[in-house]
Amino acid sequence: MNPAGPNAADILRGGWRCAGCGQVHEGPIDLASFAPDPWEGRNVREENGAVHLDGDFLSEDFCVMGGRYFFVRSVLEIPIQGFSTSFGFGCWSTLSRENFEKYLDGFDTGNFADWGPWTGWLSNQLYDYIGAEPEGVWVYPQADRQRPLLIMQDATHPLGIDQANGITPERVLAIFDHYGHRPER
C-alpha cells in the first residue's frame, strides 16, 4: 500500500465511497445523461412501451422531439489502461426515423433488420470532450436489450483517440470529479 494513500488504479480496483452521493461503489462506475441536451420537455420519463413518433416523448431508452428528431439512449465506452473493463458514458444519439423504427422493431427481440452501424450525432456534452456542438458517431445496436454502442466517427477527435487507446485511471477520476463523483480521500 502506498504510504501517501491509494493511487487512482487502487481506488478503481476496490470499493470507494463517493464524496458526492455518499454511496460505496465497486470499481469504475458508468455515468449517464438523463435526456439528450436539446430536450426541453419535462424531466419525467414515460414507459418505453408508450413510445410514439409524433410530438414529444421521453422514456428511459427513447426520445422523440416534435415528431422530427429521434434519439436512442446509448453507451460510449472508453477503455481504462491496465483494466479489463471500460468506463462508459450513458448518452444519447440521434438516429434517422428509418433507423429509429428499425431499432424499435428489434428492441425487445434483439433481432434487427439491419445491424448497422448507423450514423448518428452524439447529443450530450461530455466533460473535456464534447461541447455544445454534436459530434458524429457510429451507432451499433446490441442484442439482448443492451443499449447501442457508440464509436466516434472521427478517429482523430480526442474522444476517438481515447476510445482507441484508453485513458488512465487518473483521467477516470478527473471525469468522476467533474460530475460530482469524487472518491473520498
Closest CA to 151 of 114, 125, 107, 116: 116
Structural domain boundaries, residue 105: 29-166
Q: What is the pTM of this model?
A: 0.89
**Each residue of 30-40: pLDDT tens digit?**
899 999 999 99
* Residues with Cβ within 8 Å of residue 91, at least 6 apart in sequence: 32, 33, 73, 74, 75, 76, 122, 123, 124, 126, 150
Q: Is residue 102 part of a domain?
A: yes
**Per the domain annotation, does 51 fall within a domain?**
yes
φ, ψ dihedrals at 64, nearest 5° = -130, 130
Whether residue 9 is contained in a domain is answered as no
Low-confidence residues of the chain: pLDDT under 70: 1-6
* Residue 31: C-alpha distances to residues 78, 103, 144, 155, 181 (Å): 12, 23, 21, 22, 9
Q: Tell whether 98 is covered by a domain.
A: yes
Q: Which residue has the cell 422530427?
A: 68
Domain contains 14? no
Q: Is residue 20 part of a domain?
A: no
pLDDT at 181: 83
pLDDT of residue 40: 93
Contact 62, 71 (CB under 8 A): yes
Total of domains in the chain = 1
In a domain, 97, yes or no: yes
- Taking alpha carbons only, the member of 114, 115, 61, 119 closest to residue 94 is 119
Query: pLDDT at position 111, please?
Result: 82
> Residue 1 falls within a domain, yes or no?
no
